[in-house]
Structure 1
Amino acid sequence: MAAEVAEQPAVFDSLVARRSDVADVASLIAARRPRFALLAARGSSDHAALYAKYLIEVLLQLPAGLVSPSTTTLYDARPDLTDILYLSVSQSGGSPDLVAATEAAREQGALTVAVTNTPASPLSDAAELSVDIKAGEELAVAATKTYSATLLSLYLLVDAVRGGSGETVHGIGELAATALAEPVDEAVSRFRAVERVVTTGRGYSSATAAEAALKLAETSYLGARAYSGADLLHGPVAAIDADTGVVAVTSRGRGGAAMRDVLATVGERGPSVLAVGSAASDMPADLRIAVPETAEEVAPILEILPLQRLALGLALARGGDPDNPRGLSKVTRTL
């Protein structure tokens, strides 16, 4: 896991250099002029899909929704998907439910696109178009470089659909190296003893909060839950106390600015609060991990990097094996 986390700056640079591969798929999508987008995914890829939902709704001004694959695989739903863009996101490309749901969507008229790290996979075969995220083989069970490479690939795809040149992510490899160099030792020490963690963010960073909770749960066996900053104040904040660790993703932009009042309320309940992001220095928090500032829509690609290192450090500090979490495998076969 440590080696794969460290590879991410190089993976990013390679992806940006080969942007034309993604742009070719984007031109085909743009030519079809979809009226709506649906995203299908599981696990870490589901959080990447949430990020893509924000990109599509904000940058393309298209309505977008997250699919429940079981409506197809368990309940045999077959809605009319004419003129719908159907993005299936899976690092392995081998989840049977995603393959079946993608096949059904294509049969029902959708423009299906697979976004995967395994181009010769059943999912790529099922979809009309495919995007290879080119992260290289990932051996650790916990997704790190494949997750962040999926985010970058989705950004490049959506940006190209709107006619962008990818300029916003030029140099992102160097920024990633800076983010990975930020120390996490103090946060590991502070969070080592907690058994319950809440992660939170707003806007684009909601995806980062969700992925951080998953990484902490699967590698360190912590009880971790992710909430939108808005949803957190609608009830779950009552469960936060001095025995809770709170991780707040607070990059600059509208989403990050909205987190300041959330953390002020959360802090009154006495938890240890870690702020991560380019706006961390502005937040009421006990601990802060800075991330280089970028356009808000790009920030999740960098925000997750120190949180991956936090999950890795906590797993080791708590005596776990982050490469092989108990009860998990690289491909989860759900129906």
Structure 2
Amino acid sequence: MSEATNRAGNPPGSHMTAEIAEQPQMFSHLLGQRRAIAELAARITERKPRFALLAARGSSDHAALYAKYLIEVLLELPVGLVSPSTTTLYGARPDLTDVLLLSVSQSGGSPDMLEVTETGRRHGATTVAITNNPDSALNDAAEMSVDILAGPEQAVAATKSYSATLLALYLLVDAARGGRGEQAEMIPELAQATLDTSHDAVEEAVRRYRFADRMVTTGRGYSSATAAEAALKLTETSYLSARAYSGADLLHGPVAAVDTETAVLALCSSGKGGEAMRAVLDTVHEHGADICAIGSAAPDVHATHRIGVPSCAEELAPVLEVLPVQRLALGLALARGDDPDSPRGLHKVTHTR
């Protein structure tokens, strides 16, 4: 859509622009709920779950991947990602006694998440809903719930609700290990700094990749979630053919398809995951790809273009590094003459079973 205004009379991308800018303040509001989140975490730890399962779709599925790393690394619990259709289509009813089931849905309106949660609770799971809608059916179905406090989100592409979900999941897992969210206290200020200082580099990236036909996104560790979210954002707003791989998986075959016509968006934040990306990007560089590195470790890797992000604890890096990704998706959509507030054929809630 190339008109000066969209069908609602607003400039294209105005909602997405505003919602990206709201994130630092939103993080401050969410940090104010640390005590309530800690109380919920205490109820969970009292149950001594032996295993965790994560149920989600779309952007929430990428937040669940982030939670998978958090729980496996910080709590040292085994974690699995639910295949909702095993319940909704095939009628599987596994015994979930002593299992923690986290259902992540920004709207709380996904029918398959509702069915998975109801079924899991009936079969012994401790069920927790992570949503942006405390009045949703999913919250009613779960035994416990966390409100991510992102507020109404009008753009179809999730931005602030995604990052709020990440921070809420971090605060929950950190509280479960006995923390008080100390590492996250500076996140609002660091998020504002990220938005302020990355503007010019993002604009340059928009000019650089405006005419790209395909893109590979990649990261390791916690940043794998950002790579997955980046591919979705670029695909749904800019209609790029974008594919996400973990850095390790990229080297196991797909790198053969990377060449001088391939744009690679690499998430590289300080820590073990970012360090592991060095060898990945050395190989990708040898294939001649145009590499855009985003993150606090971006200056330390092979890249054609870099978008820096302030340093923080590695497990919190995805909360910050997704911000320039969102800005890039917004900018590319507008540069291509589309309206990222209303991607073609997409709706805020997808009804699947």
**TM-score, reference length from structure 2:** 0.94
For residue 315 of structure 1, give the secondary structure of its aligned residue in structure 2: helix
- Counterparts of 2:40 and 2:32 in 1: how far apart (Å)? 16
- Tell me if the contact between 1:199 and 1:246 (Cα under 8 Å) persists in the aligned partners: yes
Residue in structure 2 matched with residue 25 of structure 1 by the alignment: 40
Residue in structure 1 matched with residue 140 of structure 2 by the alignment: 125
Does residue 201 (structure 1) correspond to residue 201 (structure 2)? The answer is no
Residue in structure 1 matched with residue 229 of structure 2 by the alignment: 211
| Offset, 1:168 | 0.2
Residue in structure 1 matched with residue 205 of structure 2 by the alignment: 187
- Tell me if the contact between 1:13 and 1:171 (Cα under 8 Å) persists in the aligned partners: no
For residue 199 of structure 1, give the secondary structure of its aligned residue in structure 2: strand
Alignment coverage as a number of residue pairs: 335
Does residue 66 (structure 1) correspond to residue 74 (structure 2)? The answer is no
Does residue 176 (structure 1) correspond to residue 194 (structure 2)? The answer is no
More moved, 235-244 vs 32-41: 235-244
Equivalent AA in structure 2 for residue 254 of structure 1? K
Matches within 5 A, 1:300-319: 300-319=318-337
Residue in structure 1 matched with residue 53 of structure 2 by the alignment: 38
Q: Deviations over 1:217-242 (max 9, x none)?
A: 00000000000000000011111111
Equivalent AA in structure 1 for residue 33 of structure 2? R
- Counterparts of 2:247 and 2:310 in 1: how far apart (Å)? 22
Residue in structure 1 matched with residue 294 of structure 2 by the alignment: 276
- Tell me if the contact between 1:57 and 1:63 (Cα under 8 Å) persists in the aligned partners: yes
- Counterparts of 1:245 and 1:175 in 2: how far apart (Å)? 28
Matches within 5 A, 1:101-120: 101-120=116-135
Matches within 5 A, 1:212-291: 212-291=230-309
Does residue 2 (structure 1) correspond to residue 30 (structure 2)? The answer is no
For residue 314 of structure 2, give the secondary structure of its aligned residue in structure 1: coil
Structure 2: give runs of 5+ residues left out of the alignment. 1-15
Residue in structure 1 matched with residue 8 of structure 2 by the alignment: none
- Counterparts of 1:195 and 1:85 in 2: how far apart (Å)? 41
Residue in structure 2 matched with residue 81 of structure 1 by the alignment: 96
For residue 200 of structure 1, give the secondary structure of its aligned residue in structure 2: strand
Equivalent AA in structure 1 for residue 288 of structure 2? G
| Offset, 1:269 | 1.6
- Counterparts of 1:190 and 1:271 in 2: how far apart (Å)? 13
Residue in structure 1 matched with residue 161 of structure 2 by the alignment: 146
| Offset, 1:118 | 0.5
Does residue 294 (structure 1) correspond to residue 312 (structure 2)? The answer is yes
- Tell me if the contact between 1:219 and 1:312 (Cα under 8 Å) persists in the aligned partners: yes
Moved over 3 A (4+): none
- Counterparts of 1:195 and 1:161 in 2: how far apart (Å)? 44
Equivalent AA in structure 2 for residue 258 of structure 1? A
Residue in structure 1 matched with residue 68 of structure 2 by the alignment: 53
Equivalent AA in structure 1 for residue 277 of structure 2? M
Equivalent AA in structure 2 for residue 295 of structure 1? A
Percent identity between matched residues is 70
Choose from 87, 90, 99 the match for 2:105: 90
Equivalent AA in structure 1 for residue 311 of structure 2? E
Equivalent AA in structure 1 for residue 119 of structure 2? A
Structure 1: give runs of 5+ residues left out of the alignment. none
For residue 298 of structure 1, give the secondary structure of its aligned residue in structure 2: helix
CA-based RMSD: 0.6
| Offset, 1:268 | 1.4
For residue 194 of structure 1, give the secondary structure of its aligned residue in structure 2: coil
